[in-house]
């Protein structure tokens, strides 16, 4: 993925350096403080209460879904609910099997090991993790050549919480080791408004309900994006307005950032415009779209496409991506003839021909 392009976008769901300073301040600490994902929370609360009642360590948990939805936050919430320590790492950070062995040997009973982007673990590291998750043992080879010996170390019962944005890239053996798999979906409008209002209270900035609604509308259903937009609107309100986030202030600030009422930014509109204007609405492949706008195809697939699919602006077909009539309407482009709706009285190809009338006989 083109990291430079993704990091420059205000509405990028990926974590930025500026987000880290306030993540701890705005992060919910308990499950009842976590807004949204109601079905996931209900299932997770049952899992936690059952483990606490049996005085056992929690089963291994995997959170998957688009970035910015709160997978890391939920891992911290689970640790707080279980009243245990949490150790945080990432798949790319564990380069050698020895790195993982060092982490595991320092785990205590009941502790949680949170692995972000778990699908990016190396194969050698995964082989060490399999017996550790299943049998709570660590197999280490000591020495080399004919004198090498296999040493098995017992580990305390701990919990692995994995997070991934690409579930399909997770190997089947690793996925099977997780006892509970939870998908995180984009948030509803009301949930995002509640998150924005709570964030404004933590930042001690006055906000009107209409201002929170406007920010939520353009946040793409992603809490991380909503809180980032809140900070940008707060800056605008303090410099160009009275300091209070009103609807007018939010609209002016977000328009200045070129984020429209549906949360689309310049890159989203460039992708849609390329499909419509350069390729007749599609179908067209991702590589071709990326080349036409000088962007990486991975950036389009991982960052741009999911939200456009959610809005119904794009369709995935076997031949490529196709712009829908909703995309034409949003960009105010006339719908071409091949998108015209068939007449109601036009017979289908698979509809049997009707019997002729008696008069025609």
Return the active site residues.
71-72, 116, 165, 224
Give the residue among 50, 102, 108 at the shortest CA–CA distance from 84.
Answer: 108
Q: Both tokens of residue 228?
A: 């980032």
Q: What is the largest CA-CA distance in the chain?
A: 98
Both tokens of 317, joined, read 């077909």
Map residue 130 onto helix, strand or coil.
helix
Instruction: Measure Cα distances from 294 to 143, 228, 288 in Å.
Output: 51, 26, 10
Q: Give start and end residues of each alpha helix (H) in the chain.
A: 3-8, 17-26, 38-54, 71-82, 97-104, 123-134, 172-177, 189-203, 209-217, 223-240, 247-256, 266-273, 286-293, 297-299, 305-311, 325-330
C-beta of residue 199 within 8 angstroms of C-beta of residue 227? yes
Q: Residue 91 has what DSSP assignment?
A: G
- Give me 356's structure tokens: 């002729």
Phi-psi region of 312 (alpha: psi -120 to 50; beta: other; left: phi over 0): left
> Of 220, 224, 221, 195, which Cα lies nearest the Cα of 207?
195
User: Which residues are CB-neighbours of 198 under 8 A, at least 6 positions away?
Assistant: 26, 35
Tokens of 112: 């949680």
Helices (H) and strands (E) in the chain, counts: 16, 9
DSSP result, 12-31: --S--HHHHHHHHHHS--SG
The answer to whether 2 and 295 are in contact (CB under 8 A) is yes
């Amino acid at each position: 993925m083109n990291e430079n392009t993704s990091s420059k976008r205000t509405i990028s769901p990926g974590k930025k350096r500026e987000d880290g300073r306030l993540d701890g301040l705005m992060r919910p600490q308990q499950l009842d403080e976590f807004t949204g994902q109601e079905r996931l929370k209900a299932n997770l609360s049952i899992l936690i209460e059952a483990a606490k009642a049996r005085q056992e360590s929690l089963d291994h948990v995997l959170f998957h879904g688009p970035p910015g939805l709160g997978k890391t936050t939920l891992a911290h919430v689970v640790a707080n609910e279980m009243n245990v320590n949490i150790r945080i790492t990432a798949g790319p950070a564990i380069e050698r099997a020895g790195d993982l062995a060092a982490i595991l040997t320092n785990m205590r009973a009941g502790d949680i090991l949170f692995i972000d982007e778990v699908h990016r673990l190396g194969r050698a590291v995964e082989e060490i993790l399999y017996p550790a998750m299943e049998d709570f043992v660590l197999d280490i080879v000591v020495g080399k050549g004919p004198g090498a010996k296999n040493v098995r170390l017992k580990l305390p019962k701990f919990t692995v919480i994995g997070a991934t944005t690409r579930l399909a890239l997770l190997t089947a053996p690793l996925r099977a080791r997780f006892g509970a798999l939870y998908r995180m979906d984009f948030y509803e409008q009301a949930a995002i408004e509640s998150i924005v209002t709570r964030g404004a209270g933590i930042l001690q900035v006055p906000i009107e309900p209409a201002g929170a609604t406007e920010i939520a509308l353009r946040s793409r259903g992603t809490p991380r994006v909503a809180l980032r937009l809140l900070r940008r609107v707060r800056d605008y309100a303090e410099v160009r307005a009275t300091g209070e986030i009103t609807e007018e202030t939010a609209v002016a600030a977000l328009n200045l950032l070129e984020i429209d009422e549906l949360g689309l930014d310049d890159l989203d509109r460039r992708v849609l415009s390329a499909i419509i204007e350069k390729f007749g609405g599609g179908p067209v492949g991702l590589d071709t779209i990326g080349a036409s706008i000088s962007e990486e195809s991975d950036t389009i697939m991982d960052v741009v496409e999911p939200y456009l699919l959610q809005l119904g602006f794009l369709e995935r077909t076997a031949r490529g991506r196709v712009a829908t009539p909703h995309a034409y309407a949003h960009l105010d482009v006339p719908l071409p003839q091949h998108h015209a709706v068939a007449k109601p009285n036009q017979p289908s190809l698979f509809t049997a021909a009707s019997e002729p009338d008696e008069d025609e006989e």
